[in-house]
């Protein structure tokens, strides 16, 4: 049996969806061993019941309201030792990716990021799969033991089935000096300028528009389709460079990398810097008037035609389907 520790991140007062995905992965590799969640900061264990963990370790202190990456790495290593875990799974978030190296060094463990598949080999070692070279190749690794730290790729896994059974919560004894460490002085938050839908990096559906839309005003067809789906709005670099939409919309190598369940590219030709940022999406749909556009080479479904005829019709169909 293998004990697995999962970092449970909060988002908007609830356990983040990425952490729920991490719990599912932890359960699949635990081989009957305990799956333990770690919650950090004030607020108690609200939302942890029913996630699929066997118990929750709670590191609660006013000084951990906004923990630094170094503080979280110390806590994760301490929690893993307290839970007798041999593997730590962190969600595929910006914070999770930052933590992997810190925890691996402190805990003397092997590590992998951007993991899309994970399994236990016959010898008991962990075998992971992840995209490399901007998604143009896949790497398979066997992580040496006895300890491993994994960061997952967002939306690559499904969360486990929820359970109404209460989850035991235990306080985690804070490592010496950590409880007295001064809290980060957070002066405020500046929200990212984005569309009406979910945050671009976390969305399960993304609708992006490119220069082929024609004008800033006509970009509204992209936003209408995104709104119909309940999706996030993205854009190519050509759109943001032209000032049609803020830079926070940009998907690509110099923008945000996304990996939603569904990515719809509208009027995007498919420059390599854009493809690198979205090629790991589970399903890619391209809508472009040029049937030779490079975007069709990576698309699972392609529609060659007038986007101003296709997209409004698709928007209407989505709204009609969702109304039922």
Maximum CA extent, the chain: 64
CATH of region 4-171? 3.40.50.620
* Per-residue confidence band for 286, with pLDDT thresholds at 50, 70 and 90: very high
Confidence check: pLDDT of 194 > 60:
no
User: Chain-centre distance of CA 112, in angstroms?
Assistant: 15
- Quick: pLDDT tens for 238-280: 999 999 999 999 999 888 888 889 999 999 999 998 998 898 8
CA dist 51 and 36 (Å) reads 11
**Of 9-13, 54-58, 71-75, 308-312, where does mean pLDDT reach its minimum?**
9-13
Q: Where in the chain is the domain with CATH 3.40.50.620?
A: 4-171
Q: What's the distance, Cα to Cα, between the start and end of the chain in Å?
A: 46
Q: 124 versus 6: which is more confidently predicted? A: 6
The answer to whether 240 and 247 are in contact (CB under 8 A) is yes
Q: Residue 1: pLDDT band by 50, 70, 90 thresholds?
A: low
**Residues 150-154: what's their mean pLDDT?**
89
Fold of 200-323: Rossmann fold (3.40.50)
- d(C-alpha 192, C-alpha 258), whole Å: 16
Q: How far is CA 178 from the centre of its chain?
A: 28
Check residue 268 and give its pLDDT: 97
pLDDT at residue 180 greater than cutoff 70: no
pLDDT of residue 311: 97
Percentage of the chain surpassing pLDDT 70? 91
pLDDT at residue 283 in the model: 94
Contact 41, 11 (CB under 8 A): no
Q: Give the confidence band of 321 by pLDDT, cuts at 50, 70, 90.
A: very high
Q: What is the pLDDT of residue 207?
A: 97
Instruction: State pLDDT tens for residues 65-119.
Output: 778 888 899 999 999 999 999 999 999 888 888 899 999 999 999 999 989 899 8
Look at residue 244 in the predicted model and tell me its pLDDT. 94
Mean pLDDT, the chain, rounded, equals: 87
Q: Give the residue range(s) of CATH 3.40.50.1220 domains in the chain.
A: 200-323
pLDDT at 90 (0 to 100): 94
Q: pTM value?
A: 0.78
For residue 198, the model assigns a pLDDT of 80
Residues 205-240: tens digit of each pLDDT: 999 999 999 999 999 999 999 999 999 999 999 999
């Amino acid at each position: 049996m293998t004990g697995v520790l999962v970092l449970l991140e909060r988002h908007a007062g609830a356990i983040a969806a990425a952490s729920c995905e991490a719990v599912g992965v932890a359960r699949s590799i635990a081989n009957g061993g305990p799956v333990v969640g770690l919650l950090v900061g004030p607020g108690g264990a609200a939302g942890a019941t029913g996630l699929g963990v066997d118990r929750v370790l709670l590191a609660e202190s006013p000084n951990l309201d906004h923990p630094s990456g170094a503080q979280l790495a110390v806590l994760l290593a301490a929690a893993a030792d307290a839970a007798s875990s041999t593997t730590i799974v962190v969600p595929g978030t910006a914070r999770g990716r930052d933590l992997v190296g810190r925890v691996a060094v402190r805990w003397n463990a092997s590590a992998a990021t951007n993991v899309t598949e994970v399994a236990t080999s016959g010898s008991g070692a962990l075998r992971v799969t992840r995209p490399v070279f901007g998604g143009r190749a896949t790497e398979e690794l066997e992580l040496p033991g006895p300890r491993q730290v994994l960061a997952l790729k967002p939306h690559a896994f499904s969360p486990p089935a929820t359970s109404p059974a209460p989850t035991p919560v235990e306080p985690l004894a804070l490592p010496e000096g950590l409880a007295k460490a001064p809290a980060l002085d957070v002066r405020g938050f500046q929200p990212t300028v984005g569309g009406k839908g979910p945050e671009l990096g976390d969305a399960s559906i993304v609708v992006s528009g490119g220069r082929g839309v024609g004008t800033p005003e006509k970009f509204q067809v992209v936003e209408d389709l995104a709104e119909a789906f309940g999706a996030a709005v993205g854009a190519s670099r050509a759109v943001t460079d032209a000032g049609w939409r803020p830079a926070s919309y940009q998907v690509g190598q110099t923008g945000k990398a996304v990996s939603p369940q569904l990515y719809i590219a509208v009027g995007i030709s498919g420059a390599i810097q854009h493809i690198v940022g979205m090629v790991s999406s589970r399903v890619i749909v391209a809508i472009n008037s040029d049937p030779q556009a490079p975007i069709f080479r990576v698309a699972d479904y392609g529609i060659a035609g007038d986007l101003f005829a296709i997209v409004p019709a698709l928007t209407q169909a989505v709204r009609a389907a969702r109304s039922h």
